Chain A
Amino acid sequence: QQQVKQSPQSLIVQKGGISIINCAYENTAFDYFPWYQQFPGKGPALLIAIRPDVSEKKEGRFTISFNKSAKQFSLHIMDSQPGDSATYFCAASKGYGQNFVFGPGTRLSVLP
């Protein structure tokens, strides 16, 4: 129940295209869902996050869509750029002071 599933494992998109990464969870107690972006040799950086009381959150080219009934959430990257090439991790946490459960990651490559 602590697991967060993520797909696809890897993704190749042309420059200007839309990148979509999906995550699913089982534990309905999760109440915070961040996405982290990690470049090679660097630590993960918080990209965007959502709470289950909203269905969508947009920040620039990045959008999280959240489906509480299906226990799924996804990251959409519009107008994907080569600089977006990185590994993306979804995560979830529950309650105050609890730690994150990470998905296995998606390696995104955006071709020029």
Chain B
Amino acid sequence: DTEVTQTPKHLVMGMTNKKSLKCEQHMGHRAMYWYKQKAKKPPELMFVYSYEKLSINESVPSRFSPECPNSSLLNLHLHALQPEDSALYLCASRLTSGILYYYGYTFGSGTRLTVV
């Protein structure tokens, strides 16, 4: 299995809703990432988990809450989002040791989020 699976693929939510995005990988990657991507822009780093511990939070508003329940699963909990949070949310994973470290990220296909 060489994939990062993200669900749902599309999500429309109101500004008072609570929803969660899910990311799963079974490649044994111990670094997992959440990125936000706006149209015609590069991915923007939000959070990094290394060995299931949050190692980087790029000053993301608290209405985004990440969770890493185990080494294969990454969640992003959403609450009270704003319309400007509408974007493609990408999950990625990466090996953390050995020469294969240099193989870079494996990205999921993303969740297209629309906040209304």
Give me the interface of A with B, judged by CB distance under 8 Å.
32, 34, 36, 41-46, 49, 51, 87, 89, 91, 96-97, 99-100, 102-105, 107
Interface: B31 (CB within 8 A): yes
Collect the chain B residues with CB atoms within 8 Å of residue A44's CB.
Answer: 43, 90, 105, 107
Query: How many whole Å from B78's CB to the nearest CB in chain A?
Result: 19
A-B residue pairs in contact (CB < 8 Å), sample of 18? A32-B104, A34-B104, A36-B107, A41-B110, A42-B110, A43-B108, A44-B43, A44-B90, A46-B106, A51-B102, A97-B50, A97-B101, A99-B48, A100-B104, A102-B43, A104-B42, A105-B40, A105-B42
Which residues of B have CB within 8 Å of A107? 40
Partner of A99, one of B6, B45, B90, B110: B45
Q: B residues within 8 Å of A by Cβ? A: 4, 6, 31, 33, 40-43, 45, 48, 50, 56, 90, 92, 96, 101-110, 112
* Smallest CB gap from A44: residue in B: B107
- Which residues on B sit within 8 Å (CB–CB) of A87? 40
Q: Are B33 and A99 in contact (CB under 8 A)?
A: yes
CB-CB under 8 A for A99 and B109, given A49-B104, A104-B42:
no
Q: Are B40 and A99 in contact (CB under 8 A)?
A: no
